[in-house]
Amino acid sequence: MSSPDQPVVLTCAQPTGQLHLGNYFGAVRNWTTFLDSHACYFGIVDQHAITLPYVPAELRQSCYKTLALYIACGLEPEKCNLFLQSHVTGHTELAWILACLCPLGQLERMTQFKDKAARQEEGGAGFIGSGLLYYPVLMAADILLYNADVVPVGEDQRQHVELTRDLAMKFNATYSDTFKIPKVEIPKQAARIKSLQDPTRKMSKSDPNQGGVIYLLDEPNIVTKKIKSAVTDSGSEVRASEDKPGITNLLHIMSASTGRSIEDLEQEFAGSQYGVFKAAVADAVVEMLTPIQERYKAIADDKKYLEGVFKSGADAAQKRAFKMLSKVNRKAGFIERAR
Ligand code: TRP
């Protein structure tokens, strides 16, 4: 599958059980580009998922669904290691050691912590769990446990990867050179896919207006309906420009779905009405989603298969993780347990 001299790419995502077009074009599809050139570790971070109030049975289902979606999107288990964070010993252990090096103030200043904490105070659990504050340290451990070279993430995770780099340098300086300093990789397309109902905002699963969000498992008629009801702009020209956020978004979606350039699409639809253009966008998205949905349907209920994928992913991940963990424990001054 992968050879020891290949660079290591690692990324993780929470088990949401759903993916939308923004997740696909901005993240998952980008990860597939590493499959042949890198040793790939893709984690589903169930331990991060419990930092906010949740329902255990739903978490479990979401983990299976998320795995099936990843495979359906082309993350072939033969070519990458797909694993559950809680299956691999070392994530929380390393997080503890890193936490002891991490200034409290740096965690309190994290943008995502402040946003999530504010929402918890407004409604959520009635208190802010320490895990929410500690979240970025666990994420740093996810990355450093594999000594990853490249970490592709969305713009919203940049601050967390920067903290990871700080902690890696701090560990190296405090003990001795151990961790590679990981590189952040932010794919350009990530932020480009906007809500169909408010094209000034990113497509997001927490959008109160779900009509603006296309999920990979949306039925063709739903996809078409959502695209046909997308807000458009004044004027009638199909052209990408700043004063046309709605049409620009649809052009980006069609371009990402077909691989055709924006210019090429502008030419084809020069003089077309918005309705004609929208129908073509809908067809393109449905065509792109069809094989993903077929593959998903074929595997989603096959628990045995999915568990097998989790097992081999965790076996490979654990092998790498144990090496790093024992090195780290030794450097931190812990006595190795006799065997
Ligand atoms: N915090 C990331 C997100 O919400 C998920 C994540 C956890 C992650 N650990 C990671 C991403 C390690 C990259 C690497 O998207």
Q: Supply the pLDDT for residue 190.
A: 58
pLDDT in the model for residue 153: 94
CA–centroid distance, residue 162 to ligand 1 (Å): 12
Least trusted range by pLDDT, from 121-125, 311-315, 316-320, 331-335: 121-125
> Among 81, 88, 94, 153, which residue has the most ligand 1 atoms within 8 Å of its CB, making it the best to mutate?
153
* 202 included as an active-site residue: yes
User: CA 114 → CA 77, 82, 100, 118, 122, distances in Å?
Assistant: 36, 30, 21, 6, 12
The yes-or-no answer on residue 79 being catalytic is no
Structural contact between residues 117 and 134, judged by C-beta atoms closer than 8 angstroms: no
Question: Atom 2, ligand 1: which residue's CA is nearest?
Answer: 13
> Who lines ligand 1 at CB under 6 A?
11-14, 45, 48, 139, 142-143, 151, 153, 157, 160
Between 233-247, 287-301, 309-323, the lowest mean confidence (pLDDT) is in 233-247
Tell me the β-bridge partners of 86.
none
**Which are the contacts of 258, defined by CB distance < 8 A and separation ≥ 6?**
284, 288
User: Which entry of 79, 170, 180, 205 is annotated as an active-site residue?
Assistant: 205
Least trusted range by pLDDT, from 79-88, 118-127, 231-240, 267-276:
118-127
Model pLDDT, residue 189: 63
Measured in degrees and rounded to the nearest 5, phi and psi for residue 10 equal: -135, 135
Q: What's the pLDDT tens digit per position in 76-118?
A: 999 999 999 999 999 999 999 999 999 999 999 999 999 999 9
Does residue 16 carry a pLDDT above 80? Answer: yes
Whole-structure pTM value: 0.95
Query: Could you give phi then psi for residue 77, rounded to 5 degrees?
Result: -60, -20
Q: Which domains does the chain have, with CATH numbers?
A: 8-191+302-332 (3.40.50.620), 210-296 (1.10.240.10)
Query: For 337, which DSSP code?
Result: P
The alpha carbon of 261 and the centre of ligand 1 are apart by a number of angstroms equal to 31
CA angle 80, 90, 163 (to 5 degrees): 85
Per-residue pLDDT, 246: 97
| CA 160 to ligand 1: nearest atom | 1
Sheet holding 39-44, edge to edge: 81-84, 39-44, 8-13, 150-152, 183-185
pLDDT of residue 184: 87
The CA 10 to ligand 1 mean position distance, Å, reads 10
Instruction: Identify the residue whose C-alpha is closest to ligand 1 atom 8.
Output: 12
Q: How far apart are CA 335 and CA 331, in angstroms?
A: 10
